Amino acid sequence: MRDMSSPLKIVALVAAGIGALALVIGLGATVLSIKGVDSGYVCVVREGGPFDGRAIKEVRQPGEGPKIIGPFNKQDCLPTTERDSNDVIEGDQLFPTKDSVQVVVDGQALYSLTTDGPRIEKFYKAYGRRKWGGASLSTDEGWLNFQRQRLAPVILDAQREVVASYDCQALNNLCQYVQNPEAATQTTNTATKGDENTQNLSAAQRALAKKINEKLRAAFGDDYFENVRYQNLRIRFEPAVQGEITKAQTLRTQAANAKLDADRKRAEAKGEADRKVEVASGERRAAFQQAKAYRINPTQREIDKLRAFCGDDGCDPKVIGGSLGDVITNLDGETTAGK
């Protein structure tokens, strides 16, 4: 009879080898399935074993320590840190104001993905099992593409609605140069005060945050995004329009400077005329006072005549032909003759 022990031994050895290999593979898969969670991410553990379905096993919170998620299971992580709309909205976006002026809206819509477990599971089932621009949602490229395709239109729609509820000049004083450039270049400034613009922009920011939050909920069917706010809102114009505004401002400055120069010249001329009138008035008042003094004191009149004739150093009457009385008489005669 043939010895059957050898084939059985071979089979046993093969089986043992397969079992050992399976054990090694299982142990390796178990070791490789030990995963932690980064503090800025929420992770979805998805079944992937040969005897499992493909259901979501659990949702892990930011900062969870390493643990075995299960051999062959997959952990997909999504960022929960604050996102900025400027990363997903490209180029200038034009919107009409209430009074139909096209403006460019600069600002930041800020938001973050929720960490609520049931919501994340629901969100992942709806959006995590498809490609976004050819990339998985759990990759940086896929997450960015998802925001560009789904969030950016919502934010832009909210901006359009809020901007359309304001007149242009309520958000930017320079709108006066767009709406009525002739009036704006006049020196009289009828623009809205700067502090009113600041208050309006602050109110518009609050309205934008509320509107974006409402539209995100309507678009996705749940509050998947939290801490929605809007900041650094600024209303500006396209470069071509801004260039025309700058020209208009230059004309306004030139007009204001010309008016100031004309006002200065008029003031100087009026001042000179007033000065001459004041001098003449002073001379008349002085002459009147002098005549009044001579009537009261005739002797002073004669003394002043001699001083006028001889100067401050005085003179000898004999030298000029007579006594002091003769000189005074002659002066009176000359004065009378001069009259």
pLDDT digits (tens, 9 = 90+) for 99-143: 989 999 999 999 999 999 999 999 999 999 899 999 999 999 999
Question: What whole-number distance in Å separates Cα of residue 167 and Cα of residue 325?
Answer: 95
Is the model's pTM score more than 0.75? no
Backbone angles phi, psi at 137, to 5 degrees: -60, -30
> Within 13 Å, how many C-alpha atoms sit on residue 298's CB side?
2
Neighbours of 45 (CB within 10 A): 19
Query: Which amino acid is it at 67?
Result: K
**Residue 231: per-residue pLDDT:** 96
Q: Read off the pLDDT of residues 234-278 as tens digits, 9 standing for 90 and up.
A: 999 888 877 677 666 566 565 555 566 666 667 666 776 677 667
Residues with Cβ < 8 Å from 248, sequence gap 6 or more?
177, 181, 184, 185
